[in-house]
Amino acid sequence: MTAYPYRSILITGASSGIGAALALELAAPGVLIAFTGRNAERVSAVEDNLRAAGAETLARVIDVTDRPAMSELISDIESRRPLDLVVANAGISSGAGAGDDGITRDIFAVNVDGVLNTVLPAAAAMRTRKDGHISIVSSVAGFRGLPSAPAYSATKVAVKAWGEAIRPDLGKDGITLSMIFPGFVESRITDKNNFTMPFLMPAEKAAKIIASRLSRRKTTIAFPWQMAWMMRLLALLPGPLFDFVMSRAPRKN
């Protein structure tokens, strides 16, 4: 088992996928892992796995769009053991575009407001002791707005820009901020996709990559490298050529 330097951790959206796998990767005796999810049954199953690995747990069924509930959760964790790692991971996905009002607003609420509701109170607590590590899960889809998933990619662009913008200021207070850009990872989100997903990766492998690079305080964690570079190059295309290429891309469900 790899030893990681964190002893008090919060991971949102950890009842499945990357979040659950990362929680289990970081679980160890002497480690407090707090996590959230929206499905009580899945939350309970993950908690059992973490406890079997020797970790202390604080599990909450919370929607990250609930700002007071998130602030209360972070206060509860801080009262037990000051946070040294926060992973703002909770997110939802869809191919929703301009005509999908309801789901578009839901995606923005979870993927953007949920990140703010996690990071802002955590950062405030960390500032008081001039130490801590915050990470925000974006996506390789966050390198440029994608017509195949307009709302989803826009939210990932937004949290990428915000995280990179606040990083220098947090750094002045001794807080590291890492941006995480996964490609396709096996999860409940990718299970819905009915198209070929290049370099699809098991959640457990993704968790090991993330945990290893977080422990080395990497500020940018993008993987797999082939997918990350493919999306970076796509983002550099001139508008008309980008539109032509993306008009032929499969749309996310």
What pLDDT does residue 253 have? Answer: 59
Task: Identify the CA nearest to 212 among candidates 14, 1, 4.
Answer: 4
Dig out the tokens for 247 from the structure: 């008009």
Taking the complete model, does pTM exceed 0.95, yes or no?
Answer: no
Q: How many residues does the chain have?
A: 253
Name the 3-class secondary structure at 32. strand
Structural domains in the chain, CATH included, are 8-246 (3.40.50.720)
Q: What is the pLDDT of residue 96?
A: 62
Q: Would you say 221 and 179 are in contact if contact means Cβ atoms under 8 Å apart?
A: yes
Q: How far apart are CA 170 and CA 179, in angstroms?
A: 13
Cα separation values, 17 from 2, 128, 185, Å: 20, 32, 8
Catalytic residue selected from 6, 35, 143, 152: 152
Answer yes or no: 152 catalytic: yes
Give every CB contact of residue 88 below 8 A, 6+ residues apart in sequence: 12, 114, 115, 118, 119, 134, 135, 136, 137, 159
Q: What is the pLDDT of residue 191?
A: 64
* pLDDT number for residue 95: 64
How confident is the prediction along the chain (253 residues), in pLDDT tens digits per residue?
678 999 999 999 999 999 999 999 999 999 999 999 999 999 999 999 999 999 999 999 999 999 999 999 999 999 999 999 999 999 998 766 666 778 999 999 999 999 999 999 999 999 999 999 999 999 999 999 888 889 999 999 999 999 999 999 999 999 999 999 999 888 777 667 666 777 889 999 999 999 999 999 999 999 999 989 988 988 888 888 878 877 777 666 5
Q: What is the pLDDT of residue 3?
A: 83
Q: Please report the pLDDT score of residue 146 as a whole number.
A: 87
